[in-house]
Amino acid sequence: MRGQREKDHICLVPFGTIKSDFLREAGDALGRQWPVEYVILPAIPIPPSAFDVQRKQYNTAPLLELLRHTEGDYHQIIGVIEFDLFHPKWSFVFHEADIVLGSALFSTYRLRPEYYGKIPDKKIFMNRVLTEMMHALGHIHGLHHCSNPYCPMYFSTSIGDTDRKGHIFCATCQKKMSVE
């Protein structure tokens, strides 16, 4: 691991209404899983132009672009939003990342059991958040998607994928993460 200067911390960036209390909980969960320190930046307002009126979803591209200009010269950035995200290629995405720049963005929207008509369950929700955080962490360390369906770097196209893969890197990804 690199030094512990603050700019080497994982920088968590809330978009819009995401609460810093929630991000602290998520950052602590990540820190128990992987030895990282984190900082939480003030929330960034969501630009209205990111909303696609027809799709009723937010485009990941302008949001990732905003993360690119995060203040403080951070190299590992994870943005979090509570609204549904899309990429033109997909009907929705749980996340998107810019591997070259070391930033990632994920949405909590489809991680909540109530989205699927189930009763709210904080534990299930936070487990899914941790899986997304580990996935984001992998991307910002240069990892691409993994073909192992039990690895957090597997590309989820449904919440079933997310629940199955969990948050522990497969041996191959673990090795790539440790090379740094």
HSE-up of 100 (CA within 13 Å, CB side)? 3
| # chain residues binding Zn ion, by CB under 5 A | 6
Does 151 engage in binding with Zn ion (CB under 5 A)? yes
Tell me the closest approach of the beta carbon of residue 153 to Zn ion, in angstroms: 4
Of 108, 137, 170, 176, the one binding Zn ion (CB under 5 A) is: 170
Q: Identify whether the C-beta of residue 44 lies closer than 8 Å to the C-beta of residue 13.
A: yes
Instruction: Compare residues 11 and 170 and give the one whose CB is closer to Zn ion.
Output: 170
Does 93 engage in binding with Zn ion (CB under 5 A)? no
Does 127 engage in binding with Zn ion (CB under 5 A)? no
Of 40, 107, 153, 165, the one binding Zn ion (CB under 5 A) is: 153
The CA-atom distances, in angstroms, between 145 and each of 21, 120, 142, 167 are 30, 29, 10, 14
Of 64, 67, 129, 173, the one binding Zn ion (CB under 5 A) is: 173
Instruction: Spell out the alpha helix ranges (H) of the chain.
Output: 20-33, 60-68, 122-140, 159-165, 171-179
